[in-house]
Amino acid sequence: MYLEIYLFCFCVDALRKKEKYSVGTLFFSKQQLNFFAIVLLFLAIPIQVKAQEASLPIGLWNYPGSQTFLQIQKGKCSLKLDPKFGGGFASGDCAWKSTSQTGGILTIEYFQPGLINGAHLYYSINWIDKNTLHVCAVAANGAMGCDIYKRI
């Protein structure tokens, strides 16, 4: 940053005079210094462009043809698994981390007896359209499964 400011000031000062200027063994004309000053000016201005992020998929979602439901609220989530898939229920705090324009990672932290810090469920979720999600999860045995969920 200091080098940029120093070089910018040097270029502006050099532009006021009508002769060639040297830096070490390099020689610059007035036009070259003008160009260099403009480039340094743009480099000195921080430009931040924020990519559009995927929104939290708030609502009640169902895996079609089953009794599996995923309810997502801001900060609170729950999951009810169909008995034919092993059943179970988890409810607790959740967090959304957008990873692209179309999806992110949903983390559900819930209480489980015997675990001091609770348990966590992680879901990779991608929007297909406003009423459809592609949801992937990793099971305890390491197997990954993905399903399509529909908004109810």
Are the CB atoms for 136 and 121 separated by under 8 Å? no
Residue pLDDT, tens place only, 99-147 = 999 999 999 999 877 777 778 899 999 999 999 999 999 776 778 899 9
- Phi/psi of residue 148, nearest 5 degrees: -100, 125
Query: What is the distance in angstroms between the CA of the first residue and the CA of the last residue of the chain?
Result: 54
142: left (phi over 0), alpha (psi -120 to 50) or beta: left
Domain shared by 131 and 67, yes or no: yes
Point out which residues pair with 76 in neighbouring strands: 93
For residue 91, being part of any structural domain is answered with yes
Q: Note down the domain range covering 79.
A: 59-151
Domain shared by 38 and 83, yes or no: no
Domain shared by 70 and 138, yes or no: yes
Cut 0.75: pTM above it: no
Number of domains in the chain: 2
16-30, 44-58, 69-83, 131-145: which is most confident: 69-83
